[in-house]
Structure 1
Amino acid sequence: MKLKQAVTGIAALACMTTAAHAQSAGSFYVTTGWFHLAPQSSSDPLKVTSIGGSPTNITEANTGASLSSADTIGFTAGYFITDHIATEFVIGYPPSFDLEGSGSLSQFGKLGQAKQWSPTLLFKYYFNAPTATFRPYLGVGVSRIWFTDEKITNGVFEANVLHGPTSVSTDSSWEPVFNAGFTYAFNQHWFAGVSVSYLPLSTTAKLSTAANTPVGTLNVQSQTKIKLNPIVTYVNIGYRF
Protein backbone atom coordinates (compact mmCIF):
# COMPACT_ATOMS: atom_id res chain seq x y z
CA MET A 1 0.00 0.00 0.00
CA LYS A 2 2.79 2.41 0.91
CA LEU A 3 4.58 1.62 -2.35
CA LYS A 4 1.39 2.30 -4.31
CA GLN A 5 0.91 5.64 -2.53
CA ALA A 6 4.51 6.61 -3.19
CA VAL A 7 4.21 5.80 -6.89
CA THR A 8 0.93 7.77 -7.12
CA GLY A 9 2.51 10.73 -5.37
CA ILE A 10 5.53 10.72 -7.69
CA ALA A 11 3.26 10.54 -10.74
CA ALA A 12 1.17 13.48 -9.51
CA LEU A 13 4.32 15.48 -8.79
CA ALA A 14 5.61 14.73 -12.29
CA CYS A 15 2.35 15.94 -13.84
CA MET A 16 2.48 19.14 -11.80
CA THR A 17 6.09 19.73 -12.82
CA THR A 18 5.21 19.23 -16.49
CA ALA A 19 2.24 21.58 -16.22
CA ALA A 20 4.36 24.21 -14.49
CA HIS A 21 7.00 23.98 -17.21
CA ALA A 22 4.35 24.30 -19.91
CA GLN A 23 3.05 27.61 -18.49
CA SER A 24 6.24 29.12 -17.14
CA ALA A 25 9.25 31.12 -18.31
CA GLY A 26 10.76 29.88 -21.56
CA SER A 27 7.63 28.17 -22.92
CA PHE A 28 6.06 28.86 -26.32
CA TYR A 29 2.40 28.71 -27.30
CA VAL A 30 0.21 29.16 -30.37
CA THR A 31 -3.52 29.81 -30.70
CA THR A 32 -6.14 30.03 -33.40
CA GLY A 33 -9.70 31.26 -33.17
CA TRP A 34 -12.30 33.78 -34.23
CA PHE A 35 -12.01 37.57 -34.17
CA HIS A 36 -15.09 39.79 -34.02
CA LEU A 37 -14.34 43.44 -34.79
CA ALA A 38 -17.00 45.94 -33.71
CA PRO A 39 -16.08 49.51 -34.79
CA GLN A 40 -17.45 52.31 -32.61
CA SER A 41 -17.32 54.46 -35.73
CA SER A 42 -18.16 57.99 -36.80
CA SER A 43 -16.75 60.41 -39.36
CA ASP A 44 -16.19 64.06 -40.13
CA PRO A 45 -18.25 65.58 -42.98
CA LEU A 46 -16.92 65.08 -46.49
CA LYS A 47 -14.59 67.97 -47.40
CA VAL A 48 -13.63 68.96 -50.96
CA THR A 49 -9.98 70.01 -50.89
CA SER A 50 -9.21 70.61 -54.59
CA ILE A 51 -11.09 71.15 -57.88
CA GLY A 52 -9.12 71.01 -61.12
CA GLY A 53 -5.88 71.49 -59.18
CA SER A 54 -7.08 74.62 -57.36
CA PRO A 55 -7.22 74.32 -53.54
CA THR A 56 -10.66 74.61 -51.96
CA ASN A 57 -12.14 74.17 -48.51
CA ILE A 58 -15.74 73.14 -49.12
CA THR A 59 -17.50 71.09 -46.43
CA GLU A 60 -20.49 69.01 -47.47
CA ALA A 61 -22.79 69.49 -44.47
CA ASN A 62 -24.68 66.57 -42.92
CA THR A 63 -22.55 63.94 -44.67
CA GLY A 64 -20.85 61.07 -42.91
CA ALA A 65 -20.15 57.37 -42.82
CA SER A 66 -19.74 54.47 -40.43
CA LEU A 67 -18.23 51.01 -40.68
CA SER A 68 -19.94 47.66 -40.27
CA SER A 69 -18.69 44.96 -37.91
CA ALA A 70 -16.62 42.11 -39.31
CA ASP A 71 -15.45 38.59 -38.43
CA THR A 72 -12.31 36.71 -39.38
CA ILE A 73 -9.99 33.89 -38.36
CA GLY A 74 -6.95 34.77 -36.24
CA PHE A 75 -3.61 33.33 -35.16
CA THR A 76 -1.19 34.17 -32.35
CA ALA A 77 2.24 32.98 -31.26
CA GLY A 78 3.59 33.78 -27.83
CA TYR A 79 6.56 33.31 -25.50
CA PHE A 80 6.70 33.48 -21.69
CA ILE A 81 9.60 35.75 -20.75
CA THR A 82 8.94 35.08 -17.07
CA ASP A 83 6.29 33.03 -15.25
CA HIS A 84 3.95 36.04 -15.49
CA ILE A 85 5.07 38.13 -18.49
CA ALA A 86 4.55 36.98 -22.07
CA THR A 87 5.03 38.62 -25.44
CA GLU A 88 2.62 37.72 -28.23
CA PHE A 89 2.36 38.34 -31.98
CA VAL A 90 -1.21 38.55 -33.32
CA ILE A 91 -2.42 38.42 -36.90
CA GLY A 92 -5.73 37.72 -38.61
CA TYR A 93 -6.89 37.15 -42.13
CA PRO A 94 -7.78 40.73 -43.23
CA PRO A 95 -11.50 41.32 -42.60
CA SER A 96 -13.58 43.30 -45.08
CA PHE A 97 -15.52 46.29 -43.71
CA ASP A 98 -18.53 47.88 -45.39
CA LEU A 99 -18.72 51.67 -45.39
CA GLU A 100 -22.30 52.77 -44.70
CA GLY A 101 -23.60 56.29 -45.39
CA SER A 102 -24.90 58.42 -42.53
CA GLY A 103 -26.66 61.78 -42.39
CA SER A 104 -27.80 62.78 -45.87
CA LEU A 105 -25.82 59.82 -47.28
CA SER A 106 -27.80 57.22 -45.32
CA GLN A 107 -30.25 56.94 -48.26
CA PHE A 108 -27.49 55.27 -50.30
CA GLY A 109 -26.82 52.48 -47.79
CA LYS A 110 -23.49 50.78 -48.47
CA LEU A 111 -21.06 53.20 -50.13
CA GLY A 112 -17.90 51.11 -50.37
CA GLN A 113 -15.63 48.62 -48.69
CA ALA A 114 -12.03 48.00 -47.63
CA LYS A 115 -9.88 45.27 -46.06
CA GLN A 116 -7.98 46.00 -42.86
CA TRP A 117 -4.54 44.65 -41.94
CA SER A 118 -3.50 44.99 -38.30
CA PRO A 119 -0.58 42.79 -37.15
CA THR A 120 -0.07 43.40 -33.44
CA LEU A 121 2.63 42.92 -30.83
CA LEU A 122 1.38 42.55 -27.25
CA PHE A 123 3.01 42.37 -23.83
CA LYS A 124 0.78 40.53 -21.34
CA TYR A 125 0.91 40.12 -17.58
CA TYR A 126 -0.64 36.86 -16.32
CA PHE A 127 -2.05 36.60 -12.81
CA ASN A 128 -2.12 33.43 -10.65
CA ALA A 129 0.56 30.74 -10.49
CA PRO A 130 1.96 29.10 -13.64
CA THR A 131 0.25 25.85 -12.58
CA ALA A 132 -3.18 27.48 -12.20
CA THR A 133 -5.99 26.29 -14.45
CA PHE A 134 -7.50 29.77 -14.73
CA ARG A 135 -5.17 32.65 -15.56
CA PRO A 136 -6.52 36.16 -16.23
CA TYR A 137 -4.22 38.73 -17.80
CA LEU A 138 -3.86 42.35 -18.86
CA GLY A 139 -1.98 43.43 -21.95
CA VAL A 140 -0.77 46.45 -23.86
CA GLY A 141 0.87 46.67 -27.25
CA VAL A 142 1.09 48.30 -30.64
CA SER A 143 -0.54 47.57 -33.98
CA ARG A 144 0.40 48.57 -37.52
CA ILE A 145 -2.81 49.44 -39.39
CA TRP A 146 -3.33 49.76 -43.12
CA PHE A 147 -6.12 49.15 -45.62
CA THR A 148 -6.20 47.50 -49.04
CA ASP A 149 -8.81 47.04 -51.77
CA GLU A 150 -10.48 50.34 -50.87
CA LYS A 151 -13.21 51.11 -53.37
CA ILE A 152 -16.56 52.79 -53.92
CA THR A 153 -19.15 50.10 -54.71
CA ASN A 154 -22.30 52.21 -54.94
CA GLY A 155 -22.76 53.51 -58.50
CA VAL A 156 -25.70 55.78 -57.60
CA PHE A 157 -23.69 57.49 -54.85
CA GLU A 158 -20.68 57.77 -57.14
CA ALA A 159 -22.71 59.33 -59.98
CA ASN A 160 -24.99 61.66 -57.99
CA VAL A 161 -22.78 62.79 -55.11
CA LEU A 162 -19.20 62.42 -56.33
CA HIS A 163 -20.17 63.08 -59.99
CA GLY A 164 -17.79 60.61 -61.57
CA PRO A 165 -15.53 57.57 -61.23
CA THR A 166 -13.69 57.71 -57.92
CA SER A 167 -10.64 55.99 -56.46
CA VAL A 168 -9.98 55.77 -52.71
CA SER A 169 -6.82 55.67 -50.61
CA THR A 170 -6.36 55.62 -46.84
CA ASP A 171 -3.64 56.46 -44.35
CA SER A 172 -1.61 53.82 -42.52
CA SER A 173 -0.60 54.30 -38.90
CA TRP A 174 0.80 52.81 -35.68
CA GLU A 175 -1.84 52.55 -32.96
CA PRO A 176 -1.81 51.46 -29.28
CA VAL A 177 -3.73 48.34 -28.23
CA PHE A 178 -5.24 47.70 -24.79
CA ASN A 179 -6.05 44.07 -24.00
CA ALA A 180 -7.58 41.90 -21.27
CA GLY A 181 -8.60 38.26 -21.12
CA PHE A 182 -8.04 34.86 -19.58
CA THR A 183 -6.94 31.33 -20.41
CA TYR A 184 -8.34 28.06 -19.08
CA ALA A 185 -6.01 25.04 -19.15
CA PHE A 186 -7.45 21.59 -19.93
CA ASN A 187 -4.08 19.93 -19.32
CA GLN A 188 -0.38 20.82 -19.51
CA HIS A 189 -0.62 21.52 -23.26
CA TRP A 190 -4.16 22.40 -24.38
CA PHE A 191 -6.07 25.50 -23.29
CA ALA A 192 -8.87 27.84 -24.36
CA GLY A 193 -8.99 31.59 -24.11
CA VAL A 194 -11.10 34.72 -24.48
CA SER A 195 -9.81 38.26 -24.87
CA VAL A 196 -11.11 41.78 -25.52
CA SER A 197 -9.00 44.51 -27.10
CA TYR A 198 -9.55 48.20 -27.80
CA LEU A 199 -7.78 50.26 -30.47
CA PRO A 200 -8.20 54.08 -30.52
CA LEU A 201 -7.99 54.09 -34.33
CA SER A 202 -8.81 56.68 -36.97
CA THR A 203 -7.89 57.03 -40.64
CA THR A 204 -8.32 59.64 -43.37
CA ALA A 205 -10.03 58.40 -46.54
CA LYS A 206 -8.91 60.39 -49.59
CA LEU A 207 -11.08 60.37 -52.72
CA SER A 208 -9.93 61.26 -56.22
CA THR A 209 -12.80 61.79 -58.69
CA ALA A 210 -12.86 62.36 -62.43
CA ALA A 211 -15.91 64.62 -62.08
CA ASN A 212 -18.19 65.50 -64.96
CA THR A 213 -18.78 69.28 -64.88
CA PRO A 214 -20.26 71.89 -67.28
CA VAL A 215 -16.70 72.80 -68.33
CA GLY A 216 -15.62 69.20 -68.86
CA THR A 217 -14.00 66.53 -66.73
CA LEU A 218 -12.10 67.89 -63.73
CA ASN A 219 -10.12 66.10 -61.05
CA VAL A 220 -11.80 66.64 -57.68
CA GLN A 221 -9.98 65.75 -54.45
CA SER A 222 -11.99 65.21 -51.28
CA GLN A 223 -11.48 63.51 -47.94
CA THR A 224 -13.04 62.55 -44.63
CA LYS A 225 -11.60 61.45 -41.31
CA ILE A 226 -13.16 58.20 -40.08
CA LYS A 227 -12.92 57.17 -36.44
CA LEU A 228 -13.10 53.37 -36.10
CA ASN A 229 -12.17 52.76 -32.42
CA PRO A 230 -12.89 49.02 -32.72
CA ILE A 231 -13.59 46.66 -29.82
CA VAL A 232 -12.09 43.30 -30.81
CA THR A 233 -13.07 40.01 -29.17
CA TYR A 234 -11.05 36.83 -29.72
CA VAL A 235 -12.28 33.35 -28.77
CA ASN A 236 -9.54 30.78 -29.25
CA ILE A 237 -7.99 27.41 -28.52
CA GLY A 238 -4.26 27.04 -27.97
CA TYR A 239 -1.38 24.63 -27.50
CA ARG A 240 1.62 25.16 -25.19
CA PHE A 241 4.94 23.53 -25.99
Structure 2
Amino acid sequence: MVGAAAFAYVASAAHAQSAGSFYATAGWFHFAPQDSSGPLKETSVGGSPVNIDVQGTGAGISSADTAGFTLGYFATDHIAAEFEMGIPPSFDLEGTGSFSQYGKLGSAKQWSPTLLFKYFFNAPQAKFRPFVGIGVTRTWFTDAKITNSSFEGNVLHGPTSVDTDSSWAPVFNVGAVYNFTEHWFAGFSVSFIPLKATATLNSQAQTPVGTLNVQSKAKITLNPIVTYLRVGYRF
Protein backbone atom coordinates (compact mmCIF):
# COMPACT_ATOMS: atom_id res chain seq x y z
CA MET A 1 0.00 0.00 0.00
CA VAL A 2 2.81 2.42 0.84
CA GLY A 3 4.51 1.71 -2.50
CA ALA A 4 1.24 2.24 -4.37
CA ALA A 5 0.63 5.54 -2.58
CA ALA A 6 4.16 6.75 -3.37
CA PHE A 7 3.72 5.81 -7.02
CA ALA A 8 0.41 7.68 -7.17
CA TYR A 9 2.04 10.81 -5.67
CA VAL A 10 4.95 10.77 -8.12
CA ALA A 11 2.64 10.23 -11.06
CA SER A 12 0.44 13.13 -9.93
CA ALA A 13 3.42 15.45 -9.41
CA ALA A 14 4.92 14.50 -12.75
CA HIS A 15 1.63 15.24 -14.48
CA ALA A 16 1.59 18.75 -12.99
CA GLN A 17 5.08 19.53 -14.30
CA SER A 18 5.06 17.70 -17.62
CA ALA A 19 3.65 17.86 -21.14
CA GLY A 20 0.18 19.34 -21.39
CA SER A 21 0.25 21.39 -18.18
CA PHE A 22 -0.45 25.13 -18.00
CA TYR A 23 0.89 27.61 -15.46
CA ALA A 24 0.49 31.25 -14.50
CA THR A 25 2.80 33.50 -12.48
CA ALA A 26 2.90 36.96 -10.95
CA GLY A 27 5.97 38.78 -9.72
CA TRP A 28 8.32 41.74 -10.03
CA PHE A 29 10.40 42.89 -13.01
CA HIS A 30 13.52 45.04 -12.63
CA PHE A 31 14.83 46.72 -15.79
CA ALA A 32 18.48 47.77 -15.73
CA PRO A 33 19.45 49.44 -19.04
CA GLN A 34 23.09 49.17 -20.10
CA ASP A 35 22.61 52.34 -22.09
CA SER A 36 24.65 54.57 -24.34
CA SER A 37 23.73 57.12 -27.00
CA GLY A 38 24.98 59.13 -29.92
CA PRO A 39 24.76 62.93 -30.05
CA LEU A 40 21.48 64.75 -30.59
CA LYS A 41 21.09 65.31 -34.33
CA GLU A 42 19.12 68.17 -35.84
CA THR A 43 17.63 66.70 -39.01
CA SER A 44 15.60 69.61 -40.38
CA VAL A 45 14.84 73.28 -39.72
CA GLY A 46 11.70 74.78 -41.18
CA GLY A 47 11.34 71.73 -43.40
CA SER A 48 14.84 71.98 -44.88
CA PRO A 49 17.25 69.12 -44.12
CA VAL A 50 20.34 70.04 -42.13
CA ASN A 51 21.67 66.85 -40.44
CA ILE A 52 23.78 68.57 -37.80
CA ASP A 53 25.24 66.58 -34.89
CA VAL A 54 25.24 68.54 -31.62
CA GLN A 55 28.63 67.36 -30.37
CA GLY A 56 29.16 66.44 -26.73
CA THR A 57 25.48 65.71 -26.10
CA GLY A 58 23.66 62.52 -25.21
CA ALA A 59 20.95 60.89 -23.15
CA GLY A 60 20.42 57.81 -21.02
CA ILE A 61 17.54 55.83 -19.53
CA SER A 62 16.93 55.19 -15.84
CA SER A 63 16.25 51.78 -14.33
CA ALA A 64 12.65 50.86 -13.49
CA ASP A 65 10.53 48.31 -11.62
CA THR A 66 7.07 46.98 -12.32
CA ALA A 67 4.67 44.11 -11.63
CA GLY A 68 4.73 41.28 -14.17
CA PHE A 69 2.53 38.39 -15.23
CA THR A 70 3.10 35.28 -17.33
CA LEU A 71 1.16 32.42 -18.87
CA GLY A 72 2.94 29.24 -19.92
CA TYR A 73 2.35 25.82 -21.43
CA PHE A 74 4.54 22.69 -21.36
CA ALA A 75 4.57 21.26 -24.88
CA THR A 76 6.81 18.40 -23.66
CA ASP A 77 8.27 17.40 -20.29
CA HIS A 78 11.15 19.81 -20.91
CA ILE A 79 9.99 22.46 -23.42
CA ALA A 80 7.58 25.24 -22.50
CA ALA A 81 6.23 28.28 -24.31
CA GLU A 82 5.67 31.36 -22.17
CA PHE A 83 4.10 34.78 -22.69
CA GLU A 84 5.35 37.56 -20.40
CA MET A 85 3.81 40.97 -19.86
CA GLY A 86 4.33 43.70 -17.28
CA ILE A 87 2.46 46.82 -16.25
CA PRO A 88 4.26 49.43 -18.41
CA PRO A 89 7.00 50.97 -16.27
CA SER A 90 7.87 54.66 -16.52
CA PHE A 91 11.48 55.46 -17.46
CA ASP A 92 13.26 58.78 -16.99
CA LEU A 93 15.26 60.21 -19.88
CA GLU A 94 18.42 61.70 -18.37
CA GLY A 95 20.92 64.04 -19.97
CA THR A 96 24.54 63.00 -20.51
CA GLY A 97 27.55 64.93 -21.76
CA SER A 98 26.76 68.63 -21.92
CA PHE A 99 23.10 67.78 -21.23
CA SER A 100 23.96 66.27 -17.83
CA GLN A 101 23.54 69.71 -16.21
CA TYR A 102 19.79 69.42 -16.86
CA GLY A 103 19.36 66.08 -15.08
CA LYS A 104 16.03 64.52 -15.98
CA LEU A 105 14.92 65.63 -19.43
CA GLY A 106 11.67 63.71 -19.83
CA SER A 107 9.88 60.43 -19.36
CA ALA A 108 8.15 57.62 -21.25
CA LYS A 109 6.32 54.36 -20.56
CA GLN A 110 7.63 51.16 -22.11
CA TRP A 111 5.58 48.25 -23.45
CA SER A 112 7.44 45.02 -24.15
CA PRO A 113 5.29 41.86 -24.36
CA THR A 114 7.57 38.85 -24.78
CA LEU A 115 7.21 35.33 -26.13
CA LEU A 116 9.77 32.85 -24.76
CA PHE A 117 10.58 29.23 -25.46
CA LYS A 118 12.29 27.53 -22.50
CA TYR A 119 14.09 24.25 -22.01
CA PHE A 120 13.81 22.89 -18.45
CA PHE A 121 16.49 20.57 -17.11
CA ASN A 122 15.99 17.73 -14.60
CA ALA A 123 13.06 15.34 -14.39
CA PRO A 124 9.48 16.67 -14.49
CA GLN A 125 8.93 15.73 -10.82
CA ALA A 126 12.17 17.37 -9.60
CA LYS A 127 11.93 20.13 -7.00
CA PHE A 128 14.61 22.28 -8.63
CA ARG A 129 14.53 22.85 -12.39
CA PRO A 130 16.94 25.28 -14.07
CA PHE A 131 16.15 26.43 -17.59
CA VAL A 132 17.46 28.35 -20.57
CA GLY A 133 15.27 30.25 -22.98
CA ILE A 134 15.17 32.30 -26.13
CA GLY A 135 12.42 34.44 -27.52
CA VAL A 136 11.34 37.72 -29.05
CA THR A 137 9.86 40.96 -27.75
CA ARG A 138 8.03 43.83 -29.39
CA THR A 139 8.94 47.12 -27.70
CA TRP A 140 7.32 50.52 -27.99
CA PHE A 141 6.91 53.64 -25.85
CA THR A 142 3.90 55.75 -24.93
CA ASP A 143 3.40 59.04 -23.05
CA ALA A 144 6.84 60.21 -24.16
CA LYS A 145 7.34 63.86 -23.23
CA ILE A 146 9.89 66.50 -22.32
CA THR A 147 9.34 67.51 -18.69
CA ASN A 148 12.36 69.81 -18.15
CA SER A 149 11.34 73.38 -19.00
CA SER A 150 14.92 74.68 -18.85
CA PHE A 151 16.09 72.06 -21.36
CA GLU A 152 13.06 72.70 -23.57
CA GLY A 153 13.63 76.46 -23.56
CA ASN A 154 17.44 76.71 -23.61
CA VAL A 155 18.30 73.79 -25.90
CA LEU A 156 15.20 73.06 -27.97
CA HIS A 157 14.06 76.72 -27.98
CA GLY A 158 10.36 76.00 -27.75
CA PRO A 159 7.52 73.58 -26.99
CA THR A 160 8.51 70.07 -28.07
CA SER A 161 6.60 66.88 -28.80
CA VAL A 162 8.28 63.45 -28.73
CA ASP A 163 7.64 60.37 -30.85
CA THR A 164 9.47 57.07 -30.44
CA ASP A 165 9.83 54.13 -32.79
CA SER A 166 8.89 50.52 -32.08
CA SER A 167 11.09 47.51 -32.75
CA TRP A 168 11.46 43.75 -32.48
CA ALA A 169 14.37 42.35 -30.45
CA PRO A 170 15.61 38.90 -29.41
CA VAL A 171 15.52 37.86 -25.76
CA PHE A 172 18.08 35.57 -24.11
CA ASN A 173 16.91 34.08 -20.83
CA VAL A 174 18.25 31.86 -18.00
CA GLY A 175 16.76 30.98 -14.65
CA ALA A 176 15.31 28.31 -12.40
CA VAL A 177 12.12 27.32 -10.62
CA TYR A 178 11.65 25.60 -7.27
CA ASN A 179 8.52 23.49 -6.86
CA PHE A 180 7.09 23.69 -3.33
CA THR A 181 4.14 21.42 -4.07
CA GLU A 182 2.53 19.75 -7.04
CA HIS A 183 0.99 23.09 -8.03
CA TRP A 184 2.87 25.96 -6.32
CA PHE A 185 6.36 27.11 -7.31
CA ALA A 186 8.70 30.12 -7.25
CA GLY A 187 11.09 31.23 -9.96
CA PHE A 188 13.85 33.66 -10.80
CA SER A 189 15.18 34.57 -14.22
CA VAL A 190 17.58 36.97 -15.92
CA SER A 191 17.08 38.18 -19.49
CA PHE A 192 19.28 40.19 -21.83
CA ILE A 193 17.65 42.17 -24.65
CA PRO A 194 19.83 43.83 -27.33
CA LEU A 195 17.61 46.83 -27.99
CA LYS A 196 17.91 50.26 -29.59
CA ALA A 197 15.38 53.09 -29.76
CA THR A 198 15.10 56.36 -31.66
CA ALA A 199 13.23 59.38 -30.34
CA THR A 200 12.10 62.09 -32.76
CA LEU A 201 11.68 65.58 -31.29
CA ASN A 202 9.59 68.24 -33.04
CA SER A 203 10.18 71.68 -31.55
CA GLN A 204 8.34 74.91 -32.28
CA ALA A 205 11.53 76.94 -31.97
CA GLN A 206 11.27 80.66 -31.40
CA THR A 207 13.78 82.38 -33.72
CA PRO A 208 14.43 85.97 -34.91
CA VAL A 209 12.56 85.14 -38.13
CA GLY A 210 9.58 83.64 -36.34
CA THR A 211 8.54 80.19 -35.20
CA LEU A 212 10.22 77.33 -37.05
CA ASN A 213 9.68 73.62 -36.74
CA VAL A 214 12.99 72.02 -35.79
CA GLN A 215 13.16 68.23 -35.95
CA SER A 216 15.84 66.37 -34.02
CA LYS A 217 16.60 62.71 -33.41
CA ALA A 218 18.20 60.94 -30.46
CA LYS A 219 19.34 57.34 -30.86
CA ILE A 220 19.80 55.38 -27.64
CA THR A 221 21.15 51.87 -27.13
CA LEU A 222 19.23 50.37 -24.20
CA ASN A 223 20.42 46.71 -23.94
CA PRO A 224 18.51 46.10 -20.69
CA ILE A 225 19.20 43.29 -18.25
CA VAL A 226 15.81 42.26 -16.89
CA THR A 227 15.39 40.24 -13.69
CA TYR A 228 12.09 38.62 -12.77
CA LEU A 229 11.20 37.20 -9.35
CA ARG A 230 7.85 35.41 -9.32
CA VAL A 231 5.52 32.90 -7.75
CA GLY A 232 3.32 30.63 -9.81
CA TYR A 233 0.55 28.09 -9.91
CA ARG A 234 0.64 25.10 -12.21
CA PHE A 235 -2.68 23.64 -13.40
Q: Which residue does the alignment assign to 1:60?
A: 54
Give the CA deviation at 1:9: 2.2
Once the two structures are superposed, what CA deviation does each residue of 1:152-205 show, in whole Å capped at 9, x if it has no partner?
Answer: 000000000000000000110111000000000001000000000010000111
Number of corresponding residues: 235
Task: Return the TM-score normalized by structure 1.
Answer: 0.97
Following superposition, the deviation at residue 55 of structure 1 comes to 0.5
User: Percent identity between the aligned chains?
Assistant: 71
**TM-score, length-scaled by structure 2:** 0.99
Matches within 5 A, 1:155-170: 155-170=149-164
Deviation at 1:240, TM superposition (A): 0.4
Separation in 2, partners of 1:195, 1:54: 48
Alignment of 1:212 onto 2:206: yes
- Which amino acid is the alignment partner of residue 179 of structure 1? N
State the match for 2:166 in structure 1: 172
Structure 2: distance between partners of 1:192 and 1:10: 29
Letter of the structure 1 residue corresponding to residue 169 of structure 2: E
Aligned to 1:36: 30
Deviation at 1:208, TM superposition (A): 0.2
User: CA shift at 1:16, angstroms?
Assistant: 0.9
Distance 1:110 1:155 in 2: 10
Moved over 6 A (4+): none
1:89 maps to 83
- What is the RMSD of the two structures over their aligned residues, measured on CA atoms? 0.5
**Structure 2: unaligned runs, 5 residues or longer:** none
Give the aligned partner of residue 46 of structure 1: 40
Amino acid at match of 1:86: A
The Cα offsets for residues 47-101 of structure 1, whole Å up to 9 and x where unpaired, read as: 0000001100111010001110000000000000000000000000000000110
Q: How does 1:196-235 map to 2 (within 5 A)?
A: 196-235=190-229
Unaligned runs of 5+ in 1: 1-5
